Amino acid sequence: MCCVFVVVVMCSVWFGVADATTLIPMDTRALTKTADAIVLGKVKSSESRWNEKRTLIFTYHEVEVTGNFKGKTAERITIKQLGGVVRPFAQVVPGMPTFSAGEEVFGFLSKHADGTHGVVGLSQGKFCVVTDKKTGEKLLKRGPSVDGAALHFIGGGHEKTGENDVPKGILLDEYVEEIRSILSEGGK
């Protein structure tokens, strides 16, 4: 029995651990219906800290809301995510979206009991806003997730990887119109 344990430990060390999160894909309709709020905003800051019991690390992202497409939010909100770094410790949650100060983001959010918000569907619910250099139009692109981990979607008889979801981006204005259309149909 001792030899089996040693072999398992050695294989874990030798081959490493695979980082991936498996979840059911959420299209725009599912994200829209599930979200309590849909916002456009600019990340002002991020800070990781322990919970009160010092058992989990959470990261808090302060976001200045510049556009609100569903639900009512304050002009400045906090997005709370499981995971982060409080030196010398790190807690990693594969598939969790990343946020950077100064980044413009578009997000599908759920409201937490403590007044903070979470991102619906892990990195499926967060887009980076970029400006097309040729046209000047704003595009939405999927941002990286924690550790660049791939999201493996299941359902519909096939699998796909999150990074290939929105390869060239979506026009922000067109995406907002799609969301408004879903909401006008009774999308909550």
Question: ∠ CA(157), CA(149), CA(178), 5° rounding?
Answer: 60
What pTM does this model have? 0.79
Phi, psi of 157 (to 5 degrees): 75, 10
Residue 96: both structure tokens together: 């969790």
Quote the CA–CA distance of 108 and 118 in Å, as a whole number: 8
- Which stretch of DSSP H or E encloses residue 17? none
Q: What value does the mean pLDDT of the chain take? A: 82
> Which tens digit of pLDDT belongs to each residue from 54-111?
999 999 999 999 999 999 999 999 999 999 999 999 999 988 999 999 999 999 999 9
Q: Which of 68, 51, 69, 49 is closest to 59 using CA atoms?
A: 49
The domains of the chain are located at 18-184
State the pLDDT at residue 146: 61
Q: In angstroms, rounded to a whole number, what is the distance separating the alpha carbons of residues 28 and 182?
A: 9
Phi, psi at residue 152, to the nearest 5°? Answer: -105, 115
54: helix, coil or strand?
coil
Position 20 scores a pLDDT of 57
Nearest to 32 by CA among 157, 159, 179, 153: 179
The C-alpha torsion from 71 through 188 and 180 to 131, rounded to 10°, is 50
